[in-house]
Structure 1
Amino acid sequence: MTSHPSRPVADLFSADGRLKAIPRKPARREALLAHLAVTLFEADRTYREPEVNAALRAVHEDFPALRRHLVTGGFLSRTKDGSDYRRQQRPGSPGGAIPSAA
């Protein structure tokens, strides 16, 4: 069976909405991160680190790893001091953020 990057991510979550595991395969992990970015974080809003942690902790206990993957994958941007985060628009992302006018 061939894995498709566009495959829905619903099978990664248990019935209670918690993430079973962070996928190791890059394409699956990227699909998950895109889903989390769009569903947990509003476009054009700045989040403090405790808010990001709380949102990610609601889906998985390893929220620091999820936060790091979201930042390194370009789904969230972080200020140099690590205190503020914003959802980023990624070209071609389904349901992606509206482009910034800035």
Structure 2
Amino acid sequence: MRSARAAAQRLSRAADDPPVDARSVERALHQFDAQGRLRRWPSKRSVQTLALWALWATLPAGRSMPEREVNERLTREHLFDDPATLRRTMISCALLSRRRDGTDYRRIEQQPPAEAKALIKSLGVQRRARWQEAKEVSHA
């Protein structure tokens, strides 16, 4: 009985989310404005990767998109007007896939790392407020 209980405790600890490097999340958050848009392309690769995860989260899951739609979605989420760099880097980081002819893009479904989850969650409130405001303006 004791060994079964100890095994259950080990498994429950293994199922918990790994600890988050709050400093990495904070560095990435500094790259976004108050509305959750990426202000500039980060110079550090680790911050770039976290920023890409945040952009990945804004793409629809399980649906193919033409390049134009991917560019439009990425353009809404950043301020430095370079969706091609974002799109290409997401492909090279295996966050986005595309056909060879560039006609079909898809978000690659996977579990984000702990830091990316924390960043996505932090930006979620800001983005929802921006999306709601845009929706209200379009209906006015």
Q: Do both share a fold (TM > 0.5)? A: yes
- Percent identity for Structure 1 against Structure 2: 32
After superposition, the CA RMSD in angstroms is 2.1
TM-score normalised by structure 1 residue count: 0.76
- Please state if 1:36 is matched with 2:77: no
Which one has the bigger helix percentage? 2
Contact 2:38/2:51 (CA < 8 Å) preserved in 1?
no
Which one has the bigger strand percentage? 1
| Higher RCO (Cα < 8 Å, 6 or more apart) | 2
Contact 2:63/2:106 (CA < 8 Å) preserved in 1?
yes
Aligned residues: 91
Partner letter of residue 64 of structure 2? T
Residue pairs, 1:1-102, within 5 angstroms? 4-5=23-24, 7-8=25-26, 9-38=28-57, 40-58=58-76, 59-60=78-79, 61-93=81-113
Q: CA separation in 2, counterparts of 1:24 and 1:4?
A: 16
- Once the two structures are superposed, residues 13-60 of structure 1 have per-residue CA deviations (whole angstroms, 9 ceiling, x without a partner) of 12344322111211111101111101x212111111000010111123
- Computing the radius of gyration from Cα coordinates, the structure with the larger value is 2
Q: CA separation in 1, counterparts of 2:65 and 2:111?
A: 22
Q: CA separation in 2, counterparts of 1:30 and 1:72?
A: 11
Contact 1:46/1:85 (CA < 8 Å) preserved in 2?
yes
Segments ≥4 residues shifted beyond 4 Å: none
Distance 1:20 1:89, change over 3 A: same
